[in-house]
Amino acid sequence: MTNPTRARAALSLVLLMLVGSLLACTLSWGEDEDQDATPDDSGGGGSGGVPTVHILSPQSGQQVPVNQRVDITVETNSTATSFVLNVGGRVAGTKAMPPGQSGPTQAILSWQPDREGTFSLEVVGFNGASAGLPAALLLEVSGTASGSPDGDTGVCSGRVLVSQLNYRAGPGTGATKLGQFDVGETVTVIGRNGDTSWYKVQRTNAQQVWAVNNTQWLQVEGACSSLPLAD
């Protein structure tokens, strides 16, 4: 390895460690209403060590359309408190997981390519400031979209982006915990509390529950600007 190559590799490692430290600090500074996850009681993984990341989708070598969001679903073998997405050696996205993560972790990260070409992506998982080895992904970006986007249906919808996110009987961490969402689960947002820090959502089984409004964990889109206050 040449000296310039070694220098670039060392710089990349330092940057990743710095981003991991910042994400760890972000978790400790989160407001109480955002801290709505509890450890997985299954006994898998544990809180120690660094996580190994596996990319579940898309597949390496897959072709994706330009100017359209690409969802990258990842899982780890042990606790991960945050993730960093690198594209072409540069940080393209980060995700701080809900506090209280324990054991294997799953998350959905997003990236939107703005030009055609072949892109090298890496996802790094962190446990606190400790970084695991990156998981690599190669994507071919073309100029052809897979289909036209859906129009405005007049509905506000949500999608869960992280594992171990609780849903509750009311808006607040003091409300009864009723269960945890699945990663990738979609819901219909039907209301909000007074300061819109919590959403009332309806699951596909018609169960109505409350979920914290945190864009890192719950992605909402559609007609969400005029949601009514809910009890």
Q: Which domains does the chain have, with CATH numbers?
A: 3-142 (2.60.40.10), 156-222 (2.30.30.40)
pLDDT, tens only, 66-90: 999 999 999 999 999 999 999 999 9
Q: Is residue 201 a contact partner of residue 189, using CB atoms and an 8 Å limit?
A: yes
Q: What DSSP string describes 183-217?
A: TT-EEEEEEE-TTSSEEEEE-TTS-EEEEE--TTT
* Helix (H/G/I), strand (E/B), else coil: 87: strand
pLDDT, tens only, 35-62: 555 443 333 334 568 999 999 999 999 9
| The model scores a pTM over 0.75 | yes
Q: Which one-letter DSSP state was computed for residue 112? A: -
CA-based R_g, the chain, Å? 19
Tokens 């992904």 label which residue? 137
For residue 211, give the nearest of 183, 151, 170, 174 by alpha carbon: 170
